Amino acid sequence: MALNLRKLSHALGAEVCGLDVSKPMSEAGFGEIYQAFLRYNILLFRDQNITREQHIEFSRRFGELDRHDALPRDRHPRHPEILMVTNEPKPDGAPSDTKYTGRQWHSDMSFTLVPSLGSLLRCLSVPEVGGDTMFANMYLAYETLSDGMKRLIAGLHGIHLSGTRKIANTETGVPRAEEQRRINPPVAQPVVRVHPETGRKALYIGEKVKRFEGMTEEESKPLIDYLVAHATRPEFVYRHRWRKDDVMVWDNRCTMHLALGDFDETQLRHMERTTVLGTPSGRVAQGA
């Protein structure tokens, strides 16, 4: 099949127009989608009125799915392949565990030893305005660094932490942060990684990185801040305004993203995400 693609921005992203992901798809047809995924880093599919089962089935075309054992509070109780991203309160009125999910620049599951290949996020409910997500092209972030900076960071490993998101209140936050540290000890990931399929180098940094291996937080902070600011320059970024029934897939190996809290939080923002497992990477950080 010939895909009808519309670019989303100069930096990255394309919309796949007129395709229903719930319909049967040949290997060759999916192969075209996957090649577009590698080329554009992000693919958008609009108007996908699909079930959770169809969401999971389409996601499996990209690879084996994470069952989110690293985030047990956040997954759907009957579909562990689905991670809930919602501000809808719990039945007892307590704040959602995922109310603030994604409010830092990050790459999904970077704090584990099998970081994500890709993520597929489905929008079920969106506020009247806002609730946008921003994406950054980490190929461009790396390629536009000076040769001197490339040499400086070539051997560095960043310590990626789980449980660094904002928490709705202290009572919820303390046990959750302790639980996350127990389940997911800090992981050292290379600051520069090579995409296993394209062979291109990408910057691997984000706001979950608090220091470099072998360095203190105070020593690390100026360089981390510079690299994150550089990677998120406007010319490297796409900002997505969600519509109900959008499905967005992105390549975590060459992008990072940020969920914006630019909306009235009395209005519902409900998303559901599947996460495709990637190749093993990194090591448990020593002395973290």
Q: What is the pLDDT of residue 286?
A: 75
The burial class, CB within 10 Å (0-12 / 13-18 / 19+), for 221 is middle
Q: What is the pLDDT of residue 164?
A: 59
Look up the CATH number of the domain holding residue 36. 3.60.130.10
Domain that holds residue 133: 5-284
Query: Could you give the number of structural domains in the chain?
Result: 1
pLDDT digits (tens, 9 = 90+) for 148-171: 999 999 999 999 998 655 544 444
133 beta partners: 240, 259
Q: What is the pLDDT of residue 176?
A: 59
- Name the stretches of the chain with pLDDT < 70: 1, 163-181, 287-288
Q: What is the pLDDT of residue 174?
A: 53
CB 194 within 8 A of CB 139: no
Active site residues: 106, 108, 257, 273
Q: What is the pLDDT of residue 163?
A: 67
